[in-house]
Chain A
Amino acid sequence: MLSAIWETEGLQTVGIVVLVFASIKLLHLLGLISFSEDSVEDELELSAVRHRPEGLEQLEAQTRFSRKELQILYRGFKNECPSGVVNEETFKDIYAQFFPQGDASTYAHFLFNAFDTDHNGSVSFEDFVMGLSILLRGTIQEKLNWAFNLYDINKDGYITKEEMLDIMKAIYDMMGKCTYPVLKEETPRQHVEVFFQKMDKNKDGVVTIDEFIDCCQNDENIMRSMHLFENVL
């Protein structure tokens, strides 16, 4: 008799205990409970890649900046990016601060690609300074070259209408919503048409580097505006 009672009770107990453990395991699986302290991974990512630029003399030789100018540039650069390199996120942040009304992220993306000449995903101080050297102290040819490089998103040597449209939209995005007259959907497209009218001499739908440079050199406005920022630094 007794054993029968014990049997039933024992079975009951066992059953319940099994149930309890199963539920605990389930919760653990679901991630609600963790048993060991060490399972929390160290989320410390490896500190960002550090980069030290080449020496001052070398940079002086490679670029058209004076020593003092390089010093000023580097100090500003290092202040914003203490690790020595700019990644795309930071680049976008910095650039966005200059255009608070609009969205500068797309254009900043293109700009980043233009500066990142070795395409390693980050702009080091050398890239930065080389780019600036061209823009501020370079010849017209070099500047136009640079601009072409900017527009040619896939760097294949041709600017297509789609590429140009992307660039145009990015530029217009920087304006934001509140403009006068009000921005319309087709404005960038119309602008691209005008551009291609001007630039595409042989009407093949793409603009090559030579067409581009030729056309720009013949345009008064563009020539004048190329000299606009020469005294920036």
Chain B
Amino acid sequence: MATGVAAWLPFARAAAIGWMPVANCPMPVAPRDNSKRQDELIILNVSGRRFQTWRTTLDRYPDTLLGSSEKDFFYNEESKEYFFDRDPDAFRSILNFYRTGKLHYPRHECISAYDEELIFFGIIPEIIGDCCYEEYKDRKRENLERLQDDQEENKDMKLPNMNFRETMWRAFENPHTSTMALVFYYVTGFFIAISVITNVVETVPCGSTANQKDMPCGERYTVAFFCMDTACVMIFTVEYLLRLFAAPSRYRFMRSVMSIIDVVAILPYYIGLVMTNNEDVSGAFVTLRVFRVFRIFKFSRHSQGLRILGYTLKSCASELGFLLFSLTMAIIIFATVMFYAEKGSSSSKFTSIPASFWYTIVTMTTLGYGDMVPKTIAGKIFGSICSLSGVLVIALPVPVIVSNFSRIYHQNQRADKRRAQKKARLARIRISKSGSANAFMQSKRNGLLNELLELTDKDEAEQKLTKSTSVIEIQHHHLLHCLEKTTAHEFVDEQMYEQNCLETALQTYTSRSPSVSSHDSPTGTCCGRRGKRNTPLPNASLPSTHPVPTHQSPLQELSALHIQYGEPPSHMASRSNLNLKTESSSRINCKGGGRITTAIISLPTPPALTPDGDGLHGPPMRRPPLPPAIPATPSIQTTASSAGLNIVKVSAL
């Protein structure tokens, strides 16, 4: 029952009294309406805009959000209203649906936004009224096509584990995938062009030889042309066979239009080879050569515009059919009229109705060759009517075809444009995303630096460190921190990761004292710092038991340090402080041990070029006199931080 007429239910029930006298048996008991709710006004607050309506209005459609008890979830006790955090403009049409029973689609609304609103409020889009339904469907289809284009682009991504056949097929279909494919593409294009030009030049008169008058080039230089033709056909045959081999579904490939064109293009040559000597069919053979012109259609693989044109013609088939049909009708009518009108005049060219067809076609398409002209007055009158109507008949279906072509062409352009813009867009999105990842790194170091500088009682630096981070950021960072603790690995940013990788790769070649690290194991358990190291390390999967990682990990981890600097003079002092603290830095982040989570100091990890690499790789705590062991002065790069403070990156270089 359409609940729009729910308001009339009392009436229908009352009218049922009309059945009572007729009934023979007692009636069932009427349901008691216990919840005798007086009709009340409901306030719907949608993002600040207040809508009010009767409760019964909303109750009309009980299977939607507003009509059911689902809206109680949105009830705001203090203000006694239902609050929805949605778009108020879109809500208008939704509320109107309850009021009038008809859902309208506002044209200025984005289709996906509107869809989302409908889904949220539990209304199916199928009940959109007839006035707006077509528009809605059109927009939805457009949107879908757009999304499909996007998805298709994703398919271009390289799939791993493609065998040779699949690679070849992809190369054929999309020449931009590899250089080989591009070369192949251009070579075939070149040979198609050569072949077509050869066919054309073959027929040009080449000048006379001694014994004969002008003969076409084809007959004069038979051998040369034959060789050219053979070469081209060879290439085409090879290409066709390769495609056939690479096609995922050979049967489907053989039925496709392009492959048929390929076959038709090369078949005449082979047929010609087979039956050169048979005179009976040489006439047919000549006809077959006409099919060589089909090679020009092979260009459609190379040109997107051609493909679009072909697709347009296919999609406008009905309009074209109509055009042809109406033209045929008009031609027959006018040819008949012209024939009978010109019958009287002598020496008339209009000998029969089919003969008049030619005149009619030439006139209707406004060609007007003038080889057939009417001579009688009646003929001239009808001839003029014919040419006028020809213009009309042809001009009518053409705009439909044109608009179709334009739509498809623009769609294609859009797809290409989007593909080009996509790279730039993705790059920009990646940059902004990495910004937030860097924030975490930043705050980590800030945190450590905080603790370090607390140690060193640097009041001024402390003040500078209090960068205001929002509550959400703090919580988010805490979450990431917990994850680090859980997995016993840590986050690092890209540069460090790459650096680390480089260093790992280089350091694997240098000998190292494994003994040192093995003693570090006891510390490895609780704090992530010592024992469990970075994920980025390719071979650092396990904690301290692995000598190599433990060696490098402190170094990798500590290979860069962001220290906020107050003033340059204290630069040396703080660094030495930091260096002294290297001992304690071994127990970094081990809050349980009562140690200080001091700054991670960059221990220079020079590349393996330096011979005394060994001496540097020992963990700090084993080699207290470390400062002198730092061979190269760590380069200090001062980069201006976003907070305006100088961040000194003491890195190992």
Known: A12-B344, A97-B5, A231-B30. A143 touches B23 (CB 8 A): no
Is B21 within 8 A of A233, CB to CB?
no
How many A residues face the partner with a CB closer than 8 A?
A: 52
Q: Do residues A75 and B54 form an inter-chain contact, with CB atoms below 8 A?
A: yes
Given contacts A72-B39, A76-B7, A191-B22, contact A229 B378 (CB under 8 A): no
Known pairs A147-B20, A229-B16; A221 contacts B7 (CB<8 A): no
Are B17 and A143 in touch, CB under 8 angstroms?
A: yes
Q: Mark B377-390, 1 if CB is under 8 A from A, else 0.
A: 11001100000000
Name B32's closest neighbour in chain A (CB-CB). A231
Contact A224 B344, CB 8 Å, known A13-B378, A132-B14, A195-B22: no
Partner of B377, one of A9, A76, A150: A9
The yes or no answer to B274 lying at the interface (CB within 8 A) is: no
**Interface pairs (9), CB distance under 8 Å:** A9-B378, A10-B377, A12-B344, A12-B378, A16-B381, A150-B18, A229-B16, A232-B13, A232-B30
B13 touches A167 (CB 8 A): no
* A97 CA to B26 CA, complexed, in Å: 25
Report the minimal beta-carbon distance from B644 to chain A, rounded to whole angstroms: 65
B26-38 interface code vs A (CB 8 A; 1 in, 0 out):
1101101100001
A75 touches B7 (CB 8 A): yes
Closest B-chain residue to A171, C-beta based? B19
Which partner residue on chain B sits nearest A10 by CB separation? Answer: B377
Which residues 5-57 of A sit at the B interface, judged by CB distance below 8 A? Answer: 8-10, 12-13, 16-17
- Known: A9-B344, A75-B54, A216-B21. Is A136-B14 also a contact (CB below 8 A)? yes
Binary contact readout A51-93 vs B (1 if CB under 8 angstroms, 0 otherwise) = 0000000000000000010001101110110000000000000
The verdict on B125 contacting chain A, using a C-beta distance below 8 Å, is: no
User: For the complex, is A183 an interface residue (Cβ under 8 Å from B)?
Assistant: no
Residues of B within 8 A of A233 (CB): 10
Question: Is B25 interfacial (CB-CB < 8 Å)?
Answer: yes
Q: Which residues does chain A contribute within 8 Å of B56, judged by CB atoms?
A: 72
A128 B2 Cβ-Cβ under 8 A: no
CB distance from B541 to the nearest CB of A (A): 69
B30 touches A80 (CB 8 A): no
Q: Which one of A10, A224, A226 contacts B17 once the chains associate, using CB atoms below 8 Å? A: A226
Q: B26: which A residues are within 8 A, CB to CB?
A: 221, 224-225
Q: A13-B377, A135-B17, A228-B30 are in contact. Are A80 and B8 (CB under 8 A)?
A: yes
Query: Could you tell me if A98 and B1 are in contact, using CB atoms closer than 8 angstroms?
Result: yes
Among B10, B378, B381, contact of A232 (Cβ-Cβ < 8 Å): B10
Question: Which residues in B have their C-beta under 8 angstroms from that of A191?
Answer: 22, 24
For chain B, the count of residues having a C-beta within 8 Å of the partner chain is: 41
Of the residues A13, A98, A132, contact of B381 by C-beta under 8 Å = A13
Q: Which of B565-583 contact A (CB under 8 A)?
A: none
Contact of A229 with B21 in the complex, beta carbons under 8 Å: no
- Could you say which residues of chain A place their CB within 8 Å of the CB of B17? 135, 143, 146-147, 226, 228-229
Given that A191-B22, A222-B20, A225-B27 are known contacts, is A135 also in contact with B344, CB under 8 Å in the complex?
no
A80 surroundings in chain B (CB, below 8 A): 4-5, 7-8
B14 and A229 form a contact (CB under 8 A): yes
A-B residue pairs, 8 tightest by C-beta:
A76-B7, A135-B14, A225-B27, A225-B20, A221-B26, A232-B10, A150-B18, A98-B12
Task: Mark out the residues of chain A between 169 and 196 whose CB falls within 8 Å of any chain B CB in the assembled complex.
Answer: 171, 191, 194-195
- Enumerate chain B residues within 8 angstroms of A231, measured Cβ to Cβ: 30, 32-33
Q: B25-67: which have CB < 8 Å to A? A: 25-27, 29-30, 32-33, 38-39, 54, 56
Q: Is the CB of B8 within 8 A of A144?
A: no
Highest count of chain A CB atoms <10 Å: which of B27, B39, B376:
B27
Q: Is the CB–CB distance between A226 and B20 below 8 Å?
A: yes
Which residue from chain B places its CB closest to the CB of A98 in the assembled complex? B12
Q: How far is the CB of B5 from chain A (nearest CB, A)?
A: 5
**Chain A residue contacts of B22, Cβ below 8 A:** 167-168, 171, 191, 195
**Chain B CB within 8 A of A100 CB:** yes
A68–B38 alpha-carbon span in the complex (Å): 9
B376, A12: Cβ atoms closer than 8 Å: yes
Q: Are A97's CB and B54's CB within 8 A?
A: no
Tell me if A153 counts as interface (CB < 8 A to partner B).
no
Contacting pair A132 B378 (CB below 8 A): no
B509 within 8 A of A: no
Most buried by B among A72, A144, A167, A199: A72
Q: Is the CB of B8 within 8 A of A94?
A: yes
Q: Given the complex, which residues of B lie within 8 Å of A95, measured CB to CB?
A: 12, 15
Name B380's closest neighbour in chain A (CB-CB): A13
Q: Which residue of A lies closest to B8 (CB)?
A: A94
A103 to chain B, nearest CB (A): 15
Give a binary string over A113-156; 1 marks a CB under 8 Å from any B CB, 0 the rest.
01000000000000010011001100000011011001100000
Residues in B whose Cβ lies below 8 Å from that of A222: 20-21, 23
Chain A nearest CB from B3 CB (Å) reads: 9
- Asked whether, in the complex, the Cβ of A76 is within 8 Å of the Cβ of B8, the reply is yes
**Interface 0/1 of B290-332, CB less than 8 Å to A:** 0000000000000000000000000000000000000000000
In the complex, the chain B residue whose C-beta lies closest to that of A195 is: B22
B652 near A: Cβ within 8 Å?
Answer: no
Given contacts A12-B377, A228-B16, 19 further A-B contacts (CB under 8 A): A9-B376, A12-B344, A13-B377, A13-B378, A16-B382, A72-B39, A75-B7, A79-B7, A80-B4, A135-B14, A147-B17, A147-B18, A191-B22, A191-B24, A221-B27, A226-B20, A229-B16, A231-B30, A232-B10
Q: Which of A77, A100, A147 contacts B7 (CB 8 A)?
A: A77
B11 at the interface (CB under 8 A from A): yes
Asked whether A98 and B9 contact (CB < 8 A) given A212-B21, A224-B27, A229-B30, the answer is yes
Expressed in whole angstroms, the minimum distance between the Cβ of A137 and any Cβ of chain B is 10
